[in-house]
Amino acid sequence: MSGELLRPTGRAVSFEVRDPLAHHVAVTGDFTGWVQHGIRLKPHVNGGWRTFLTLEPGDYEYRLLINGEWKDHRQATRRVTNSFGTENCVLEVR
């Protein structure tokens, strides 16, 4: 229908990373099609970085790109082995 705004489905999830030495932080995963540029996080308080993701309930694998290097998310409570011999973090959206 013309004139209607399309709204994303899912729920807004706050996604935060703490790395006071970072100059650029992005997250990428199966929810982005693993695009290397990912979703950029914005500087937040006390060396934190934050963005909001709109995701349906489920489990999502992801990795961080901090200053252009693949990194683990230290605050992730769950991880799974990936095909590169490292691990992907798992974001649970309920």
In a domain, 6, yes or no: no
Residue 50 sits in a domain whose CATH number is: 2.60.40.10
Is 5 part of a structural domain of the chain?
Answer: no
Query: Domain tally for the chain?
Result: 1
Q: Helices then strands (H, E): number in the chain?
A: 0, 9
* Residue 9 pLDDT grade (very low, low, confident, very high; cuts 50, 70, 90): confident
Task: Confirm whether 58 is domain-assigned.
Answer: yes
pLDDT of residue 46: 87
- pLDDT one-digit tens code per residue, 37-88: 999 999 999 889 999 999 999 999 999 999 999 999 999 999 999 999 999 9
Smallest CA-to-CA distance from 23 within 38, 41, 46 is with 41
Domain that holds residue 37: 11-93
Q: CA–CA distance from 82 to each of 9, 63, 78, 87, 90 (Å)?
A: 28, 11, 13, 5, 11
Q: Global pTM?
A: 0.86
Assess if residue 4 is contained within a domain: no
Residue 78 lies in a domain: yes
For residue 22, tell me if it sits in a domain. yes
Q: Is 65 part of any domain?
A: yes
pLDDT in tens, 73-87: 999 999 999 999 999
- How far is 64 from 2, CA to CA, in rounded Å? 38
